[in-house]
Amino acid sequence: MSVQEIKEKLAALPRNEQDEVIAYLFHLRHESDQDYQTQIARRSADRNVSHWLSPDEFERELDKRKTR
């Protein structure tokens, strides 16, 4: 199967299945990136509440990045 055929099949998927593919490709891209894995481990271990965002704050930050 060619890359073009894969793209066409992906375009035909429903949105929720495209989201699954995006998440999977993101995982593949980062699973062997040691710097990324280290950063995620550090952030996950951070217990300082002042560094955390509420769900609403997270959404606002995400929206800001989308408009850039």
Q: How many domains does the chain have?
A: 1
pLDDT of 39 reads 94
Percent of the chain with pLDDT over 70: 99
Q: Give pTM, 2 decimals.
A: 0.60
Q: Which two tokens stand for residue 8?
A: 């066409």
Average pLDDT of every residue of the chain = 94
Could you tell me the residue range of the domain that residue 20 belongs to?
Answer: 3-66
pLDDT of 65 reads 84
Instruction: Give CA–CA dist 64/11, Å, rounded.
Output: 27
Arithmetic mean of pLDDT, 30-51 = 94
Query: Is pLDDT of 67 > 80?
Result: no
